[in-house]
Structure 1
């Protein structure tokens, strides 16, 4: 029996009277697709609403040149189906966006998922009705749909932000945000291009634009510590070995702190000699992937002195790779240590600044005053451009929720509930918002996200199965459960240097009104510890939840 036939089994059972569906899922990315598949297995009638014209989520929207994995491809795809694993070949150790999007379309076709997905359907509101224990979801076109369960699969990095700079709308040339890139080709050849932003997205797109643009000007506000990706093709023989090793690969991901193939070295930074330390750093710097970030000495992200050692090493590498000493110094972060913000992985990024067609503008020295019809005006000059690329990131973690008018019991807005920062139970439920279940919500385990997605979806599916088998129609996290989980989140964050730095990790975004203060925006504990806590809730029959 094929996967598609398995997925059909039991689909189409009538929803409860007065409801259009048993469950509504917002988003057809990796989490939404898998959640649809799992709920179909329960025989539920499910509808997925997706704003885009196709599946893929992150990999549908972020189609800018240079977009690719920085998790190993074979650790990133779905693990739940041996059939999917057998039939898909990865072409690179770190796949580019077009390949990843093809993979997700392959999954959607294999599981026959599209028939339960409504595309071009942006959700604008979701209101809970206590009398019917259901959610009414309103789309941008004004249509309304009712379901018992509301499942958010909106992603932690899916609400793009433009910089708060005057005149953005006045520019007469081409202008693109990396997360809303055109579906057709965009040429940089012979053009004067500006890129605003040097985070992970900016680093990737800058490397590509520099190859063909007549001139590229990079506007950098905050430099980031970057490390080499060391990508390469996967040969057919390698792919055979990878396929045979999938059980071990996914077992390894289950065991590591953040579900990557890398895990911290058990030694402390100063437990080895300076020579051994340097050799270890060199080894990590020469290896592919996130090893230098999440596979470094165990105290790198907690001990300021240990962090200073690796920061000095990477700074030395930047100075070696960038010919102009003044430019090199501008590219070296001075306000945070290595790994305390998300580390972009690169392929020749620093060498870009050695090219005669590339110029770096430090916005801390010469801030942008405004966007003009012809380009960008800073404190020192007006720069004329044919194209402006905004690599200015996302309103992370809570932004995608804030853009939907979500109202729980008594009409309380989720945005108001989270005004001082998000609070959840296990990153999945919120008190006062019955029957709303979040996939990859605030304070869930992040890391290698698909590994966490599969766990989140399976946990949510098991909870819904538990309710259906017992005729239960309402689930909510009590306030004391939410408060207890938040205390655990705070304890897990204690001592981490990353929580002393402004970044999306700490909920800071200068491009979003009201998000200039650090909060506990993410869960900082290990993925195994997170799963252990969630498993305990399920094993106890969900007694910590309010079920009715």
Structure 2
């Protein structure tokens, strides 16, 4: 005789995607429980409260678009909203969904084991006071950038000053932003120059007595183009939300930018350069996702744009040697996610800022007094680690997920990542991933693209409920076919030939030096078409029983 689970569904995670998925399941009549490892909702926006943190999506296309009340009442204050405002928005959305009551907090999942006899998962928690629970279906909304990664350096815990990781920043106990820390007059060191590092460096340069940036691999950064959101523009947006969302849905990555349907060298040089100048000034990802159609796939076109951006860096940074250190040599423009900035390069012209090029020297260890390099000791009062995440797979790898015959998901993925539309892996029935490896929402404007994946999954779950389905699993052949499709698409873009978190390479993790297909880079419309074809053909590739 089989047992009944405690819940029909469990949603792991209370970020933007998890909250919406839990809401959809509840509204369609599932007995659902949300579990969140932290003490509150918000996901990355709850944890990442470092100074300068903000979205790189235009505010009007970042969020929920299924609730007219929220869309009409909410007024963004900036074109690219800062972290406190984004978190405040999420809290307001949760109020409208009345979803908090369906969650338990301080419940960090460390195990999910499939029971083949009963077709449900037993979920265990890191906190010893949390009893295990059972659920028929598991929806893991863990986030592709939610497992912080410290650098692999000796002596980190010996430092006597203040140290912070940007993804675990002290919080304001009475607000949505960072704690009110005073860095004025202090000697601050920042390790890391990805999107987070760039934002942090811009703010630290304003207040630190001296700021030392430890640079290993520079990124191509372009202006954010931020500004105040006028009420007139906000009113226009509210009257035309459908226009904005339709543009995002038709674009490669869910942003309001469209590639120019011409090849770069088919355009006269004067016109081409004028266009690049305009795109460089923003807003947002204008140059990355709105340039000529061949810039991300043709090496010569990419080299041209890379040299254009390199020249911008040389113009903005006064010291030629510093400028050259800030120009990437290991990848072309757009091969990694492009950090957006406001006066970032000008920071290096300030007398209170110095750059340590880790290609010319190297960090040997962290000492009680600061950071030791092969050139000597840099004495510091504060070290900020802007060293990113164990991206995309990391959040799933940290949980002991067991499927049919007790097979571990991490071990299966170590052999080679195979998914069906980035939503499930064969051999792991009833276990769904939101914004995970090979999902169309991962290389995308996540709130917009994840909502479409959640709506698709929710349609399937409605049919499953009506049919009394207790087990949903992808066929191996279907998953292999989808993964091959994702592999071919990635191979067409230059980013697929570049070492980055996009391709699973992480220098801070032993053994993570081989590229793999973690993203679906074929674009939003192509991913939607694939998913819709599966649905219209009676969910082909799935076995439901």
TM-score range, shorter chain: over 0.9
Distance 2:541 2:428 in 1: 16
Q: Which residue of 2 aligns with 1:497?
A: 494
Deviation at 1:495, TM superposition (A): 2.5
Aligned to 2:176: none
Q: How many residues align?
A: 533
- Aligned partners of 2:116 and 2:404 also within 8 Å: yes
Alpha-carbon contact 1:421-1:520 (below 8 Å) kept: no
Matched, 1:449 2:452: no
Q: Helix, strand or coil for the counterpart of 1:541?
A: coil
Q: Partners in 2 of 1:544 and 1:284 — Cα distance?
A: 42
After superposition, give the CA deviation of every residue in 1:300-354 in whole Å (9 maximum; x if it has no partner): 0111110111111111110110010110000001111111111000000000000
CA separation in 2, counterparts of 1:64 and 1:287? 24
Deviations 1:468-498 (A, max 9, x none): 1011100001111111111101111122111
Paired with 1:284 and 1:543, the residues of 2 have a C-alpha distance of 42
Matches within 5 A, 1:9-48: 18-48=4-34
Partner of 1:175: 163
Rounded to whole Å, the distance in 2 between the matches of 1:494 and 1:189 is 47
Residue number among 95, 100, 121 corresponding to 1:114 in the alignment:
100
Q: Which residue of 2 aligns with 1:298?
A: 293
2:144 to 156, 164, 168: 156
User: 1:235 matched to which residue of 2?
Assistant: 230
Counterparts of 1:64-83 in structure 2, within 5 Å, are 64-83=50-69
Counting only pairs closer than 5 Å after superposition, residues 400-439 of structure 1 correspond to structure 2 as 400-439=395-434
Between the aligned partners of 2:225 and 2:183, the Cα distance in structure 1 is 25
Q: Which residue of 2 aligns with 1:141?
A: 127
Secondary structure, aligned partner of 1:419:
helix
- Identify which of 393, 398, 405 aligns with 2:393: 398
Aligned partners of 2:162, 2:415: CA distance in 1, in Å? 38
Query: What's the counterpart of residue 287 of structure 1?
Result: 282
For the pair 1:248 / 2:243, whether they are aligned, the reply is: yes
Between the aligned partners of 2:291 and 2:226, the Cα distance in structure 1 is 20
Asked whether the equivalents of residues 3 and 118 of structure 2 are also in contact (C-alpha less than 8 Å), the reply is: no
Q: Work out the CA distance in 1 between the residues paired with 2:540 and 2:245.
A: 31
Task: Note if 1:468 corresponds to 2:454.
Answer: no
Q: What is the aligned-residue RMSD (CA, Å)?
A: 1.0
Report if aligned partners of 1:421, 1:521 keep a CA contact under 8 Å in 2.
no
The aligned counterpart of 1:481 is: 478
For structure 1, the 5+ residue unaligned runs are 1-15
Q: Distance in 2 between matches of 1:18 and 1:189?
A: 59
Give the Cα–Cα distance (whole angstroms) in 2 for the partners of residues 110 and 79 of structure 1. Answer: 13
2:214 corresponds to = 219
Which of 40, 44, 55 is matched with 1:54 structurally?
Answer: 40
State the shift of 1:53 in Å: 1.3
Report the secondary structure of 1:219's partner residue.
strand
Partner residue in 1 for 2:526: 529
Query: How far apart, CA to CA, are the structure 2 residues paired with 1:168 and 1:50?
Result: 29
Question: 2 CA distance for matches of 1:155 and 1:395?
Answer: 11
What is the TM-score of this pair, normalised by structure 1?
Answer: 0.96
Q: Hey, what's the Cα distance between the residues in 2 that align with 1:72 and 1:460?
A: 26
Whole-angstrom CA distance in 1 between matches of 2:372 and 2:513? 25
> What is the rounded CA distance, in whole Å, between the counterparts of 1:233 and 1:41 in structure 2?
37
Greater displacement, 430-439 / 283-292: 283-292
Q: Could you report, residue by residue, the CA deviation over 1:490-522 in whole angstroms, capped at 9, with x for unpaired residues? A: 111122111111100110011112211111111
Indicate the residue corresponding to 1:99 in structure 2.
85
Q: Which sections of structure 2, spanning at least 5 residues, go unmatched?
A: 172-178
Question: Is the Cα–Cα contact under 8 Å of residues 62 and 178 in structure 1 kept in the other structure?
Answer: yes
Which of the residues 294, 306, 316 maps onto 2:311? 316
